[in-house]
């Protein structure tokens, strides 16, 4: 599997890409191209063009969750596909995979909705859609995990001002049940690919091991949503990751420098930025 970072908060030195507070990865495996999240804007498309990479031949789009910094780019991808249709250019209509709650409006005051700009009805007009809270195998070795069981209490967070609008018009505290991730079965062990890890990176990893039937984890890449966590949570997260004996940890996006510094004491932390390419 080859993974290219199209969007991250950071860019790599001497690589002239654009960064933004968001995340998007391009994954290539078994002859298929999978876009994991779309960032906030059209930056993922612009960076792909600078890499001489087309996003008109995607086989799948996988969304880690519904927040705007992971789904905002969908509007721009739809525009690109619309343009390709008008100009009679070749393109694929990729299947979109996400949790059933991914496109529910998400309120976090003062924002009335910090979720996807496109609602589910419009998404279904634009793409074949597979919304599932159960694991979905994208290829033989790459799986969307669906809804993550919350096992570790130290990863539980208070929803605070977050609320989610349900289809029947009711609202409830948003526990971010739509937060999911990908797991890849490499020859050396599992690679966990996360968006924001609102479900908790330890919860995600434990469930990935269960779904894939593999205990060995060699790498984790993505956001860990450790911005200002209590030191007790950082310590327990670090101890869990240390027990995994990771070959590397590629923490990015919503992981603060201070959190990376602490976790680097438990496992081999690696740098991440737009333009980074990894292969397993």
pLDDT in tens, 44-53: 999 999 999 9
Q: Which pLDDT score is estimated for 198?
A: 98
Which whole number is the average pLDDT over 258-265?
A: 98
In whole angstroms, give the CA distance from residue 30 to residue 185.
12
In whole angstroms, give the CA distance from residue 148 to residue 167.
22
- Rounded (10°) angle between helices 74-86 and 43-50: 60
Token representation of residue 131: 């919304």
Q: Which pLDDT score is estimated for 72?
A: 98
Give how many domains the chain has, as a whole number.
1
* pTM of this prediction exceeds 0.75: yes
Q: Which pLDDT score is estimated for 14?
A: 81
Which whole number is the average pLDDT over 115-121?
A: 96
Token representation of residue 156: 């539980």
| Exposed/middle/buried for residue 51 (C-beta within 10 Å: 0-12, 13-18, 19+) | middle
Q: Which pLDDT score is estimated for 15?
A: 83
In three-state form (DSSP H/G/I as H, E/B as E, the rest C), the secondary structure along the chain is CEEEEEECCCECCCCCCCCCCCCEEEEEECCEEEEECCCCCCHHHHHHHHCCCCCCCCCEEECCCCCHHHHCCHHHHHHHHHHHHHCCCCCCCCEEEECCCCCCCEEECCECCCCCCCCHHHHHHHCCEEECCCCEECCCCEEECCCCCCCCHHHCCCCCCEEEECCCCCEEECCCCCCCEEEEECCCCEEEEECCCCCCHHHHHHHHHHHHCCCCEEEEEEECCECCCCHHHHHHHHHHHHHHCCCEEEEECCECHHHHHHHCCCCCECCCCECCEEEC
Contact call for residues 53 and 35 (beta carbons, < 8 A): no
Long-range CB contacts (< 8 A, 24+ apart) of 207-211? 207/145, 207/148, 207/149, 207/151, 208/143, 208/145, 208/181, 208/183, 211/135, 211/143, 211/145, 211/183
Q: Which pLDDT score is estimated for 210?
A: 98
Which whole number is the average pLDDT over 167-175?
A: 96
Token representation of residue 274: 């737009």
Token representation of residue 148: 């993550």
- The residue range of the domain holding 198 is 2-279
The domain that contains 101 carries what CATH number?
Answer: 3.60.15.10
Residue 13: pLDDT over 90:
no
Looking at every residue in the chain, the average pLDDT score rounds to 97
Residue 87: pLDDT over 90:
yes
Task: Give the gyration radius of the chain's Cα atoms.
Answer: 18
Which whole number is the average pLDDT over 98-115?
A: 96
| Exposed/middle/buried for residue 90 (C-beta within 10 Å: 0-12, 13-18, 19+) | exposed
Q: Which pLDDT score is estimated for 162?
A: 96
How does pLDDT run across 198-234, given as a tens digit for each residue? Answer: 999 999 999 999 999 999 999 999 999 999 999 999 9
């Amino acid at each position: 599997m080859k993974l290219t970072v199209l969007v991250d908060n950071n860019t790599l030195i001497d690589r002239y890409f654009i960064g933004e507070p968001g995340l998007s990865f391009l994954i290539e495996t078994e002859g298929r191209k999978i876009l994991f999240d779309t960032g906030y804007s059209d930056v993922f498309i612009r960076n792909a063009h600078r890499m001489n990479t087309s996003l008109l031949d995607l086989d799948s789009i996988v969304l880690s969750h519904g927040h705007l910094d992971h789904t905002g780019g969908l509007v721009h991808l739809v525009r690109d596909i619309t343009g390709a249709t008008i100009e009679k250019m070749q393109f694929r209509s990729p299947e979109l995979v996400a949790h059933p709650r991914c496109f529910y409006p998400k309120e976090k005051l003062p924002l009335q909705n910090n979720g996807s700009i496109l609602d589910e009805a419009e998404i279904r007009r634009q793409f074949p859609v597979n919304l599932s809270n159960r694991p979905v195998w994208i290829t033989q070795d790459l799986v969307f995990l669906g809804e993550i069981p919350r096992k570790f209490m130290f990863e539980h967070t208070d929803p605070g001002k977050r609320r989610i609008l349900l289809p029947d018009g009711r609202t409830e505290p948003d526990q971010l049940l739509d937060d999911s991730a990908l797991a890849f079965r490499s020859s050396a062990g599992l690679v966990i690919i996360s968006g924001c890890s609102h479900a908790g990176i330890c919860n995600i990893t434990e469930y990935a091991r269960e779904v894939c039937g593999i205990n060995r984890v060699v790498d984790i890449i993505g956001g860990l949503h450790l911005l200002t966590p209590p030191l007790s949570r950082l310590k327990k997260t670090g101890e869990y990751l240390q027990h995994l004996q990771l070959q590397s940890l590629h923490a990015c996006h919503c992981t603060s420098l201070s959190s990376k510094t602490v976790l680097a004491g438990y496992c081999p932390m690696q740098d991440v930025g737009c333009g980074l390419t990894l292969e397993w």
